[in-house]
Amino acid sequence: MKRIHIGYETDIAEKRARVVRIGELEIAIFKLTGGELKAIENRCPHKGGKLSEGIVCDHHVFCPLHDWKISLKDGLVQAPDEGCVTSYRVEIDGASGEVWLHLPEEQTIAS
């Protein structure tokens, strides 16, 4: 795993998203109520909608194109629809508020 600094906790408003690009990879970082951060691939598996533009409710995001409901915990599309997106581990440094994204080594080669 490679740890990449992507900004500060205060850079993302609650119930909003920030897009991070690493090489050709585009990741949406969501801040949930209470400050928890979740990261998933920024592309709905249905028609490629930008999940960062979707509505966040609880631990889910709704795709802005066709309202598919996707879990921010594990990237799984919720029934009755099917599919998944890649989810990523996010770490917040409590002292500095720095946000770190953890990526598998094979996804950081192009960065």
How many whole angstroms separate alpha carbon 103 and alpha carbon 11?
20
Of 59, 42, 46, 40, nearest to 103 by C-alpha is 40
Residue 38: both structure tokens together: 């979740």
Distances from the Cα of 95 to the Cαs of 1, 8, 92, 98, in angstroms?
23, 11, 9, 8
Kindly report whether the global pTM for this prediction surpasses the value 0.85. yes
- What CATH architecture does domain 2-106 belong to? 3-layer Sandwich (2.102)
The tens place of each residue's pLDDT in the chain, 111 residues long, gives 799 999 999 888 888 899 999 988 999 999 998 889 999 999 999 988 999 999 998 899 999 999 999 999 999 999 999 999 999 999 998 888 899 999 987 665 444
Cβ contact 54:63 at 8 Å = yes
Residue ranges of the domains in the chain? Answer: 2-106
